[in-house]
Amino acid sequence: MPSCAELHAALRRLVAIASVLLAPLPSAADSHHPPAVARVERSGLTPAQFHDESDRWHYQGYRLARVIMGAVDGRDSISASWEARETLVPSELATADAAVARFMERHQATALSLALAKDGRLVLARAYGHADKARREPLAPRHRFRIASISKPITATGILLLRERNDLRLSDKAFGKEALLGMPKELYPGGPSVTGVTFEHLLTHAAGGWAHDLGFDPMFHHPGLDHAALIARVLREHPLQREPGFEHHYSNFGYCLLGRAIESASGRPYERFIKAEVLAPCGIHAMDIGGDTEADRKPDEVWYHGQGGEDPYAMKLARMDAHGGWIASAVDVVRFLVHVDQRPAPPDILRPESLSRMFKPSAPSSRYAMGWAVNDAPNRWHNGSLPGSQSIAVQTHDGYSWAALTNTRDPGIGPDLDQLMWEVRAALKTLPSFDLFR
């Protein structure tokens, strides 16, 4: 790892280069009537502040126009300005900001990050509050949050990708002599046989057990066990309560099993496979499986705040990998969404037939497909909820994709976060033509 001094020296070199090689704004279509230029200026910035300010203004359509490097009291000091010829309407953005402020006050959220795309183009990313309230570290678009069950669409995409490569079939049994997960040595003697569970059952939460609404979610029990030991104990002590394939019962453990199926089919650890085969083709290089404790926080990860006695750092988050373990920025969540949205651009990472299969409502539930909640609109989405975090990711029938991530939860925060993003969409009536992904 480079030292802080080396990092600052590198940033100083970049600033020096930027001051010479600043790209001009695009010329107006009609040179006789150039559009008005919006400008913002900042001075006295540290290198880290300059980086975050550049990030914030980039994700509102501004480009760096001028930068001056200096020193104050022996420390680096940067003055800079950013310009834009096309921006969001300030009054509309103010309406969206006001809705976010009300949400954060109502739910005591100290950080909220959102990103919104239309027809595959990122048109806004916005960060509110503090990544670390105690240290007064302002939140920036680069900051990452636990996205909880938004991990499930990512895992489902990995399974469908392996199906395209003929490494598995959705009708394959998860357990058995020739199955990817093998034949368990010990099985609970009663109840329906786990050898009837297919990968399609796991994707659609139709395995017939291991669910909170049936009384037992294994992923929040036996914290001392790794994946293999947990799976062996669950199969030995907790039978299926329904015949596989007939009822929808939301199962985190089912997606844990899908993570292990990805490992068996690909020959690679789950995280490594997803990063290389799902995320990298989307242009995503800053998503990771999160850690359990405060000491395990990753670079650019926010602090989480429990409410009502919840402790965000008392979970086996890393063990939740395939069903709830990823951390990401809102921008990267939306970057994933637009690459699996059945729209012409940017190109999808799955074939059209795979996407149609993934989004098709399941027989046990017309409201859930393979890793996605669905409705008749048709809109597709998934929310995520863990102690200290709440998230939502949405694809709409009319070409919007958005994500909102926050660092706390309390009763009612999930529906309110969903409603907030519909309010933000409604407020932004005039969308710019640029694409901030580029």
pLDDT digits (tens, 9 = 90+) for 219-244: 999 999 999 999 999 999 999 999 99
Mean confidence (pLDDT) of the chain: 92
Q: Domain of 287: which CATH number?
A: 3.40.710.10
In this structure, the answer to whether residues 303 and 406 fall within a common structural domain is yes
Nearest Cα to Cα of residue 390 among 424, 413, 419, 423: 413
Q: Inform me whether the pLDDT recorded for 271 exceeds 80.
A: yes
Q: Does residue 13 have a pLDDT over 80?
A: no
16 pLDDT above the threshold of 50: no
The reply to whether 323 falls in a domain is yes
Do 332 and 208 share a domain, yes or no?
Answer: no
Give me 279's structure tokens.
Answer: 């995320």
Do 252 and 192 reside in the same domain of the chain? yes
Does some domain include residue 257?
A: yes
The number of folded domains in the chain is: 3
* Shared-domain flag, residues 419 and 296: yes
Q: What is residue 1's predicted lDDT score, i.e. its pLDDT?
A: 46
In a domain, 28, yes or no: no
Domain boundary, last residue among 244, 264, 284:
264
pLDDT value at residue 35: 55
Residue 112: CB partners within 8 Å, gap ≥ 6? 100, 103, 104, 127, 128, 129, 139, 404, 405, 406, 407
Compute the average pLDDT of residues 275-297: 97
Give pLDDT tens digits for 25-35: 443 343 344 45
Distance CA 202, CA 244 (A): 9
Question: Do residues 333 and 214 both lie within one domain?
Answer: no
Q: Phi and psi for 288 in degrees, rounded to 5?
A: -145, 160
Q: Is 205 among the domain residues?
A: yes
Examine the domain organization and report whether 143 and 184 are in the same domain: no
- Tell me, what's the pLDDT at 33? 45
Confirm whether 225 is domain-assigned.
yes
**pLDDT score at 438:** 87
* Final residue in a domain of this structure, among 204, 235, 264: 264
How far is it between the farthest Cα atoms of the chain?
A: 82
Query: Structural domain of residue 166, as residue ranges?
Result: 154-264
Q: Do 391 and 258 fall into the same domain?
A: no
The pLDDT value recorded for residue 2 is: 47
Domain co-membership, 141 together with 197 = no
Q: Compute CA distances 137 → 97, 112, 303, whole Å.
A: 19, 13, 10
Position 184 scores a pLDDT of 87
Tell me: do 194 and 251 sit in the same domain. yes
- Interval 313-345: pLDDT, tens: 999 999 999 999 999 999 999 999 999 999 999
How much is the average pLDDT of 289-300? Answer: 96
| Residue 242 pLDDT | 96
Close Cβ partners of 262 (under 8 Å, ≥ 6 residues apart) = 155, 158, 159, 162, 270, 273, 274, 322
In degrees and rounded to multiples of 5, residue 342 shows phi and psi of 60, 30
> In angstroms, rounded to a whole number, what is the distance separating the alpha carbons of residues 364 and 205?
9
Q: Report yes or no on 33 lying in a domain.
A: no
Q: 20 pLDDT exceeds 70?
A: no
Query: Do residue 285 and residue 409 come from a single domain?
Result: yes
Residue 80, both tokens: 């800079």
Q: Across residues 6-16, what is the average pLDDT?
A: 48
Q: Are residues 391 and 247 in the same domain?
A: no
Instruction: Give tens-digit pLDDT for 377-393.
Output: 999 999 999 999 999 99
The last residue of one of the domains, among 264, 289, 307, is 264
Spatial separation of the C-alpha atoms in residues 108 and 97, rounded to whole Å: 16
- 227 and 145: one domain? no
Distance CA 325, CA 321 (A): 4
Domain presence at residue 207:
yes
pLDDT number for residue 188: 83
Q: Does the residue 437 lie in any domain?
A: no
